[in-house]
Structure 1
């Protein structure tokens, strides 16, 4: 029997076409709970393909009490770092046959809480929260409802639950590696460009920098995590003749703003200013000059987060962000590393 035009095929249509029971078709489409003979499985799959059958996700959710959907809350969809991290998380979830529903918090704690509430109302199977500022723990209600939750990049401090678990990179090691490398180029006073405050991973990076350079009177600089803010700060420092000779930036967005302002003012990088950034997003390989970065291990962070979420595996030690040498620190082409010099995984 040919399916009527304009009407979606049903499980019963596939069963009639394949000469099998609806139960057998269900076992094939859901990979269980009972085994199906290989030749029967092939017949059912062929019938489903011919009829363009699509399983009803809502009906399946009602039967299994799962939706096959995981909510992903991003700190900012416009920041390339978080965009790259989201891509790896979505790929890892797709490999586990989970659909990713993405919400953009846009650096708003209220928006982050709103998205968590909406995702829970939609009965997602789990929550992945890429949080930037360490605001209130929005996963308290999820855990109370039995919905597995994992933070990536950063986790909040909660008076009710203590520190929520987060999959992060080893920020201390990344900073120490950046400082050590700049010292090989002869720099002793190495400035650090942090955010407006010390919330989140950049605050921990600033603390590691302070420890590594204690006693050197190296300047601490601050601005928002944007290219425009870093560019404005760099122009001000150049005009005041206060630009340091070496700078570690807390994020690639800031580093790109620094490079743009230095170029506009005729300040050569790395001749007058050496720059190392602590993110390593894909954009960093294509600045002028290309940025030396500590490349955040985004792919492994995403995989560990999904394993924790779906399997409840034990957390592993924080992955290290590897140093990718390019020209902005003063390395010659022979010393540089990585593809363009490197577009690997990131924060």
Structure 2
């Protein structure tokens, strides 16, 4: 049966070509609520492909009072860490038959609240929030409107909504212990402009571990350019530490670039470990040793919390040490 020009094929058309009922076609397209025999399912899918049939999401929403769409608010879409996390969230939602609608807060708490309001107006089925520091507890506000919400990676202090996070304290302890194993006792930490959220927890753990050693706390924006400028300045002043833990990969990449530009050998004269583990970290020169944030597992757990209705967040997930070349080891990627 050929598709009629100018007319979108319907569920009835697919049922006619497949030789089955519209109810069975609906079960196949919606993955339930009733099972369909494998042979019948294949016949329905073949008919849908032949007709170029696309389910009408709006009609489905009117019938079920759900849109099949989940909103994702990112703290900053331009940061590769959040980009990688967003990809895993989208993949996890796709496995559950949900479409992802993404908004970029650009580290703005006001923008984050604005996006939450917009997503509520769009009648999303739920909201995943990668929290921007300093903002209101928008997830709790969203839940008061009857829409489930969950935080991932970060959450506001005293936030009431569940959050899926990595074990940042353990990640720092692993990095410190590893650099000490290379003989470093004065291990610096590069934080952001302010201490909040995961970076605040990372900094506090470092501070406890290095108390009394005189190890310097460094600060710059979470960008390659800012970290490169700071590193260049420290090298020029002769005050660059011999070992450094960076709060983010973006900063670490800037540090490596400046070290190379100023002919400071890594890891011979500067050992570096970063605490993110984004895909880019494997392709620096030398490749970064990292504590790898479990982004895929975090995304999967966040989606399970969101769609499963559980109230309690799971324990923080481990961020394993991935040894490459920047710390002084031979690269193993293990």
State the TM-score, normalizing by the size of structure 2: 0.94
Structure 2 residues not aligned, in runs of 5+: none
CA pair 88-27 structure 1, distance change in 2 beyond 3 A: closer
1:337 aligns with 2:309: no
Distance 2:170 2:23 in 1: 55
Contact 2:140 2:149 (8 Å CA) reproduced: no
Aligned-residue offset at 1:24: 4.1
Tell me the equivalent position of 1:148: 148
Tell me the equivalent position of 1:185: 182
Distance 2:39 2:170 in 1: 55
Aligned-residue offset at 1:244: 0.8
Tell me the equivalent position of 2:106: 106
1:226 aligns with 2:223: yes
Tell me the equivalent position of 2:67: 67
CA pair 33-75 structure 1, distance change in 2 beyond 3 A: same
Aligned-residue offset at 1:316: 2.1
Distance 2:134 2:163 in 1: 11
- 2:263 aligned to which of 262, 266, 286: 266
SS of the residue corresponding to residue 62 of structure 1 reads helix
Tell me the equivalent position of 1:326: 324
Distance 1:287 1:37 in 2: 50
Aligned-residue offset at 1:37: 6.0
Provide Cα deviations, 1:268-307, integer angstroms capped at 9, x if missing partner: 1111111111111111111111111111111111111111
Contact 2:108 2:132 (8 Å CA) reproduced: no
Distance 2:181 2:284 in 1: 23
Distance 2:211 2:38 in 1: 68
- 1:200 aligned to which of 197, 200, 204: 197
SS of the residue corresponding to residue 73 of structure 1 reads strand
Aligned-residue offset at 1:135: 1.7
Tell me the equivalent position of 1:239: 236
Aligned-residue offset at 1:140: 2.8
Aligned-residue offset at 1:165: 2.4
Runs of 4+ aligned residues of structure 1 deviating over 6 Å after TM superposition are none
SS of the residue corresponding to residue 138 of structure 2 reads coil
CA pair 322-44 structure 1, distance change in 2 beyond 3 A: closer
Aligned residues: 333
CA RMSD of aligned residues (A): 1.8
Contact 1:252 1:280 (8 Å CA) reproduced: yes
Contact 2:140 2:161 (8 Å CA) reproduced: no
- 2:279 aligned to which of 262, 266, 282: 282
Distance 1:246 1:46 in 2: 60
Structure 1 residues not aligned, in runs of 5+: 343-347
State the TM-score, normalizing by the size of structure 1: 0.91
Tell me the equivalent position of 2:137: 137
- 2:170 aligned to which of 169, 173, 177: 173
Distance 2:303 2:131 in 1: 16
Contact 1:89 1:306 (8 Å CA) reproduced: yes
Contact 1:136 1:157 (8 Å CA) reproduced: no
SS of the residue corresponding to residue 157 of structure 1 reads coil
